[in-house]
Structure 1
Amino acid sequence: MSGSPALLLRNARIPAGVRGTDPAEILISDEGRILEIDVSIGAAEIPSADLDGRLVTPGFIDMHQHLDKSFTLAEAPNPDGTLIGAIEAFRAYSKGLTRQNLLARAQATLDRCVAMGTTAIRTHANLDYEMELRSVEAMCELRAASSDRIRLQVVAFATSSAARGDPETARALLERAIAAGADCIGGTPNLAPDPKRYIDMLLDVAEKHDLPVDLHIDETLNPQARWFDYLVDCTARRGMGGRVVGSHVSSLSAFPDDEARRSIEAAAAAGVAVCTLPAANLFLQGRDRNGLVPRGLTRVNELLAAGVPVATASDNIQDAFVPVGSGDLLEMARWTILSAHLLEDAAGRAFRMITDTPAAIMGLEHGLRVGAHADLVASRCESIEHLVAGGASERVVLHRGRLVAGTLGKS
């Protein structure tokens, strides 16, 4: 293990499954990695901090957010509460957006998220013929300015209006976004004139530049929306397993059970991950139904049972797509338990959906283990179950072993 000891965290409560719940000590290197976790570490000469029995967990990971849209609800309301209504509202508003406005709102959102314990975010930055690269460039600037506080991945989100329906013009915009520093390829193929051609183009660009893919796909309750299946098939044929995410995939819940089972098994075999977004799906989906309104989520339990990696995330915060939100991923974990009907080990599964699973999908060296980056949250809770169920009024947050929120007592 490289790096010299730089910080010793004392009196930490460690979650069951790591090494019991007895008070323990965590040694962190000057490179921000965990060097050792033990009951007692002889390092009297190392600067130390007393956690006073706080529960220590990995930092939270929000693998699907739209920092460029957050806190725009007042300026861009969504009167009909639909997905198309939200898209049109933000599209009209975005025409006048400046880099300064984008950065200010995104920074304010990021600050909230860090204070709540988020140590990594994957943000989808609109890429279209009106905004062009303004959002991508602003998010890349924010990534650089915030690198000592949080890990930020920027998705070049080629929206349905990226090139007025022309995949080749969208391809050119994506190439420019990659040159500007985008980390991931995104898009909304369902809303393109030719979804198949759009998916092919997005995967072509990703393969060319060896970048991961994270698509908004089948964000509808129309059972005829089957583009997730095409994405899975393309992933398998191209050998891109482990590098492709389908976000939302709401229509999977409207399939007949046997057809849904086949889709899920194919996704598991192809190595395609899924990110469910309960806030947006609960708010936007099912508005055309008058009775027995569906939740709008994908089949979370069946996906998990089949071994498909499933993360949950914030999506949007106080904008036309989601009018509420605090930046607290524990809130998203609770909403996931309720809306997805998680039951067995519900808190543990939901917690992994905001920590271990998105870390693996995003390729982050994360976790409460030796060798991982010391991206940690210390909370006054007895266990992960209590943390997920009720949160914690006080949180201490470390990014790469450096305090970024809360206060640490010296010892």
Structure 2
Amino acid sequence: MARDNLTASLAKLTGGQSFALTGGSVIHDDGPQSVSDIVVGADGRIAIVEPFLDSGSYSAHVDVTGMLVSPGFVDAHQHLDKTGVLRFTPNPSGTLQGAREAFAKYARTAGPDDIRKRATRTIGRCLSRGTTAIRSHINVDKDAGFHGIETLAAIRDAERHRITLQLVAFMTPHPGQDFEWLDKNIDGAVALADAVGGTPAVSEDPPRYLDILFSAAVKSGKPIDLHLDEHLNSGVHLLDAALDRVEHFGMQGRTVFSHVSVLSALPRRQFQRIAERLHKLNVGVVTLPAANLYLQGRDYEVLPPRGLTRVAELYRAGITIATASDNIQDPFVPTGSGDMLEIARWTLLAGHLRGDELAAAHGMITTAPARLMGLGRDYGLRPGARADFVVTDCIDTDTLVAGGPDRAFVFSNGRLVSQSATENIRLQENA
């Protein structure tokens, strides 16, 4: 089908009607792809995924032969309360602590309207680039109070038909923060959230802090997602302490460790021991290449480290590992567009995946984060799942990750929400 005809045909599909996309190459959960037709019901969910359907029985159908259909991209770790504050929060050191201090200062003055405008803009940009689900950590502490999580909870509920948004109550410890405040406020914060989070490495009493977080997760029946050991000091890590609590509190399969940069600094034998525990306890990992490439290793005079965790080795060990944006245009990461394909490429290159593992990088922005977020059968190109997918002009998964599409159509909840195309203009020379 000609480009203009395809664009026009997809644009005519409206919400609240059933339709069929025929002849496209569909990427399945376990990686392979096959030519299949997709029927989307009027409820915005996938009704059928099968080859060679009788498209004549559907009032609306579009031939997408030669196009690739991917599940919507999933960004399992963002900070929507921080997004877009770069020009207000200088971080001259370029370090993690410098970023923390810069945002803590800004958070004291950031009101709900400011947070709402910035977060809404970033969500829109992410959706336009194919991201249909986001998990965002939201600071809750003496500086930020509840402004961020209350504002994002309202956005989550208002936008639920447009994008899946999960919130992590990021109970942020600061030096001098008393545990009485944390004990008093954590239940209220978690009630507004979908998961419990925190950053034990900067707590004044990590064991006590971890116990508070895990207890709140068990009490609320919600999963836990920790910023864990985002540093390269091999002599100090909390991996075993956190894994002990996963086992003690029965949080197997409901725990995610984000960053875990220190794994790349540990001797291989020690890493392998930790990896075996991660696998046994079914703990997922999220790597954040943009942040850890930018923030880590600035004090090394020779061969500054990449700062990422052992991405390739964790993946090959069978541990569920996703990759995500982390921060977007703030003191932690000054860049970012919400493009998960860009993040997948950074992960492949900086994480030492191989050229024959492009499909693995795709899995790290689709099925792996969906699993870590507990989206279950609500996600993917399967009957009953929410109809969140991206139709592109790429020929296969490898091509999609390696270079990205020239044409893309993003569907969320069965509605076309974004379309984009790269146009080449040929200039006519004067005779």
TM-score for the superposition, normalised by structure 1: 0.94
- The worse-fitting range, judged by mean Cα deviation, of 37-46 and 374-383 is 37-46
Pick the aligned partner of 2:270 from 259, 284, 305: 259
Contact 2:135 2:165 (C-alpha < 8 Å) held by counterparts: yes
Offset at residue 308 of structure 1 (A): 1.3
Query: Equivalent pairs: percent with the same residue?
Result: 45
Task: Write the distance in 2 (CA, Å) between the matches of 1:111 and 1:351.
Answer: 22
Deviations 1:172-194 (A, max 9, x none): 22211133x21110111110101
Of residues 35-44 and 193-202 in structure 1, the stretch that sits farther from structure 2 once superposed is 35-44
CA distance in 2, matches of 1:19, 1:280: 31
CA distance in 2, matches of 1:20, 1:116: 21
Give 5+ residue unaligned stretches, structure 1: none
- When the two chains are superposed, the root-mean-square deviation of aligned CA atoms in Å is 1.9
Residue aligning to 1:384? 397
Q: CA deviation at 1:258?
A: 0.7
Give CA deviations for 1:95-153 in whole Å, capped at 9, x if unaligned.
Answer: 11110110000000000000000000000111011211000001111111211210000
Decide whether the 8 Å contact of 2:215 with 2:249 is kept in 1. no
Letter of the 1:90 counterpart:
F
For the residue of structure 2 that corresponds to 1:32, the secondary structure is: coil
> Bigger shift: 213-222 or 37-46?
37-46
Matched, 1:182 2:205: no
- How far residue 344 of structure 1 moved from its aligned partner, in angstroms, is 6.0
Q: Secondary structure at the match of 2:318?
A: coil
User: Which one-letter code corresponds to 2:331 in the other structure?
Assistant: A
Q: C-alpha separation between the residues in 2 aligned to 1:176 and 1:45?
A: 48
The residue aligned with 2:429 is: none
Partner deviation per Cα, 1:39-63 (whole Å, 9 max, x = no partner): 3222524322343532101000000
Match of 2:258 in 1: 247
Distance in 2 (CA, whole Å) between partners of 1:218 and 1:201 is 18
**8 Å Cα contact 1:7-1:46 kept in structure 2:** yes
1:340 is displaced (CA, Å) by 0.6
Q: Check conservation: 1:171, 1:202, Cα contact below 8 A.
A: no
How many Å separate the matches in 2 of 1:192 and 1:117?
36
Q: 2:326 aligns with which of 271, 290, 315?
A: 315
Q: How does 1:120-159 map to 2 (within 5 A)?
A: 120-159=133-172
Preserved CA contact (<8 Å) 2:20 2:58: no
Whether the aligned pair in 2 keeps the contact of 1:228 and 1:246 (CA below 8 Å) is no
User: Does residue 330 in structure 1 map to residue 341 in structure 2?
Assistant: yes
Match status 1:101 vs 2:118:
no
SS in 2 for 1:338: helix
Q: Find the structure with the greater CA-based Rg.
A: 2
- CA separation in 1, counterparts of 2:411 and 2:322? 22
Deviation of residue 302 (structure 1)?
1.9
Measure how far apart 1:283 and its partner are.
0.3
1:345-394 CA distance string (max 9 Å, x none): 32111110010011111111211223322110111111110110111232
The CA distance in 2 between the partners of 1:168 and 1:247, in whole Å, is 26
Counterpart of 1:331 in 2: which secondary structure?
A: helix
Distance 1:211 1:80 in 2: 36
Counterpart-to-counterpart distance in 1, 2:405 and 2:355: 23
User: Does 2:49 align with 1:37?
Assistant: yes
CA separation of 1:230 and 1:19: change in aligned 2, threshold 3 A: closer
Which residue of 2 is the match for residue 217 of structure 1? Answer: 228
Match of 1:75 among 66, 88, 94: 88
Residue in structure 2 matched with residue 306 of structure 1 by the alignment: 317
8 Å Cα contact 1:253-1:298 kept in structure 2 = yes
- Please give the secondary structure, in 1, of the residue aligned with 2:135: strand
> How many angstroms apart in 1 are the aligned matches of 2:149 and 2:295?
25
* Alpha-carbon displacement from aligned partner over 1:202-252 (angstroms, at most 9, x marks no partner): 000000000010010100001123212211121122221111111000011
Distance 2:202 2:341 in 1: 31
Alpha-carbon separation, structure 1, partners of 2:115 and 2:185: 19
- Distance in 2, Cα, partners of 1:68 & 1:57: 29
User: In structure 2, which of residues 256, 265, 286 is the aligned counterpart of residue 275 of structure 1?
Assistant: 286
Contact kept? 2:25, 2:67, Cα under 8 Å: yes
1:9-88 alignment runs, 5 A limit: 9-15=21-27, 21-22=34-35, 24-43=36-55, 44-51=57-64, 53-88=66-101
- Match of 1:308, SS state, is coil
Provide the rounded CA distance (Å) in 2 between the counterparts of 1:164 and 1:196: 16
**Is 2:83–2:330's contact at 8 Å kept on the other side of the alignment?**
yes
Distance 1:368 1:219 in 2: 34
In structure 2, relative to structure 1, the CA distance for the partners of 1:407 and 1:254 (3 Å cut) is closer
Q: TM-score, normalised by structure 2?
A: 0.89
Alignment partner, residue 6 of structure 2? none
Query: Does the 8 Å contact 2:18/2:58 carry over to 1?
Result: no
**Match for 2:406: what amino acid?**
S
Structure 1 pair 187–389 and aligned structure 2 pair: CA distance change class (3 A): same
1:145–1:281: structure 2 CA closer, same or farther, 3 Å change rule? same
**Of 247-256 and 226-235, the range deviating more from structure 2:** 226-235
1:19 to partner: Cα distance? 7.6
Contact 1:5-1:35 at 8 Å conserved across structures: no
Aligned to 2:344, what secondary structure does the other structure show?
helix
Offset at residue 400 of structure 1 (A): 2.0
Provide the residue aligned with 1:235 in structure 2: 246
Distance 2:111 2:31 in 1: 47
Runs of 4+ in 1 over 6 A off after TM superposition: 16-19
SS at match of 1:398: strand
Where do 5+ consecutive residues of structure 2 fail to align? 1-15, 422-431
C-alpha separation in 1, matches of 2:407 and 2:165: 24
Tell me if the contact between 1:167 and 1:201 (Cα under 8 Å) persists in the aligned partners: no
Q: Indicate how the Cα distance of structure 1 residues 48 and 305 shifts in structure 2: closer, same or farther if over 3 A, else same.
A: same
How many Å separate the matches in 2 of 1:46 and 1:345?
41
Q: Is the 8 A contact 2:27 2:71 kept in 1?
A: no
- Asked if 1:204 corresponds to 2:215, the answer is yes
